[in-house]
Amino acid sequence: METDLIIVSEYCQQSRIEPSFIALLETEGLIDIRIIEGTRYLHYSQLCDVERYFRMYYDLSINIEGIDAIRHLLKRMESLQRELSSLRNRLRFHENSASYLEYPEEDCF
């Protein structure tokens, strides 16, 4: 069995997250639960998302549909930020390439 899995009920107990919240995330397709021999597991890589959704749901009072929409927007934002960073690097390249010698005004005729 993979070692990067945690039993959902144990995780809920240790992190004080209600199992119904995990079930809600699963129902709405925000996380994937693995079932092995009848036991429900979460992959470690999803814990960061679960805890982020938890904060949005309880601390910011955002419902699950809202969280799903935010999730998409954050992905889009991440992609745009990458694009922005790449464009900034290109701009820097062109700015650095466009260096001119100052030409004295009296020499223009």
Residues that bind another protein (CB under 8 A): 6, 11, 14-17, 44, 47-48, 51-52, 54-56, 58-62, 70, 74, 77-78, 81, 85-86, 88-90, 92-93, 96-97
Rounded least distance, CB 29 to another protein, Å: 19
- Tell me whether residue 103 or residue 105 sits nearer to another protein (CB atom): 103
Residue entry with tokens 């922005």: 84
Rounded least distance, CB 106 to another protein, Å: 22
Q: What single DSSP character describes residue 3? A: S
Which contiguous run of DSSP H or E holds residue 95?
A: helix 64-97
Contact 22, 57 (CB under 8 A): no
- Tell me whether residue 61 or residue 105 sits nearer to another protein (CB atom): 61
How many Cα atoms within 13 Å fall on the side-chain side of residue 54?
16
